[in-house]
Amino acid sequence: DGGITQSPKYLFRKEGQNVTLSCEQNLNHDAMYWYRQDPGQGLRLIYYSQIVNDFQKGDIAEGYSVSREKKESFPLTVTSAQKNPTAFYLCASSPHNDEQYFGPGTRLTVT
Amino acid sequence: LAKTTQPISMDSYEGQEVNITCSHNNIATNDYITWYQQFPSQGPRFIIQGYKTKVTNEVASLFIPADRKSSTLSLPRVSLSDTAVYYCLVGETYGQNFVFGPGTRLSVLP
């Protein structure tokens, strides 16, 4: 059953802690993306990766880090440097020049 | 980067046809136009994609004029389950050169 998964669905952390969000896909897609969505707002690109061991900053990369050691996986770390980390995080993947397939999202709450 | 402009919200009634227009004056030659649908607390879902003229699939039609500076998503005979946010995306999906529009919140009323 092909698809893109994100875990966990809900995540709670204390301020000052780093947290890593998981994103896995078995669609054999080369490109993967991380977005952030705030309540009532659109999606904003954090990082994207076109191939393994390569990734590029998006519009709001400050306070975030990623890795792409495997084609199937693109974890996102929200560091303590991110000033407002509470948000809905969406991961997506796509084949070349085609639609993006989104995961179910992870809702992160930092208090 | 090609920016997009969409109406913030629209209301419709069940059974009506809904047309949502997206403006993208700075669209580049290599850019595609893609529309997504998003329900609350879910990831967006692809609806339709086009480059020029008209594209139709089982759920929607996409109309793109010759100058490609705008596009219109047409949803035939909407139902209550079509209540969602619709995003217009312009750019090459494979890379950074794309922008999600602000989205149009469609409310379908009985």
Q: In this predicted model, what pLDDT tens digit does every residue of A1-31 receive, in sequence order?
A: 569 999 999 999 999 999 999 999 999 999 9
Name the minimum distance, in Å, from the CA of B80 to any CA of chain A. Answer: 20
Q: Does A98 touch chain B (CB under 8 A)?
A: yes
- Contact at CB, A42 and B34, closer than 8 angstroms: no
> Is the pLDDT at A47 greater than 90, yes or no?
yes
Q: How many CB pairs under 8 A join A and B?
A: 56
Of all residues in chain A, the percent with pLDDT exceeding 90 is 77
d(CA B45, CA A101): 7
Residue B89's pLDDT is what?
87
Who's near B19: CB < 8 A, 6+ residues apart? B72, B73, B74, B75
Residue A2's pLDDT is what?
64
What does the DSSP 8-state code read for residue B81?
Answer: G
d(CA A107, CA A27): 23
Residue A41's pLDDT is what?
86
| Residue B82, phi then psi, degrees to nearest 5 | -85, 0
d(CA A67, CA A20): 11
Report DSSP letters for A29-94, one per residue. -SEEEEEEE-TT--EEEEEEEEETTEEEE-TT-TTEEE--SBTTB--EEE-TT-S---EEEEEEEE
User: What tokens does B34 get?
Assistant: 């893609």
Q: In this predicted model, what pLDDT tens digit does every residue of B75-105 receive, in sequence order?
A: 999 999 999 999 998 887 555 556 666 799 9
Residue-level length of chain A: 111
Residues 39-68 of A with CB under 8 A from B: 41-45, 48, 50, 56, 58
What's the whole-number mean pLDDT along residues A76-87?
94
**Residue A85 CB-density burial (10 A; 0-12 exposed, 13-18 middle, 19+ buried):** buried
Q: Does B32 touch chain A (CB under 8 A)?
A: yes
> Is the pLDDT at A99 greater than 90, yes or no?
no
- Contact at CB, B94 and A50, closer than 8 angstroms: yes
* Contact assessment for residue A24 and residue A4, using Cβ atoms and an 8 Å cutoff: yes
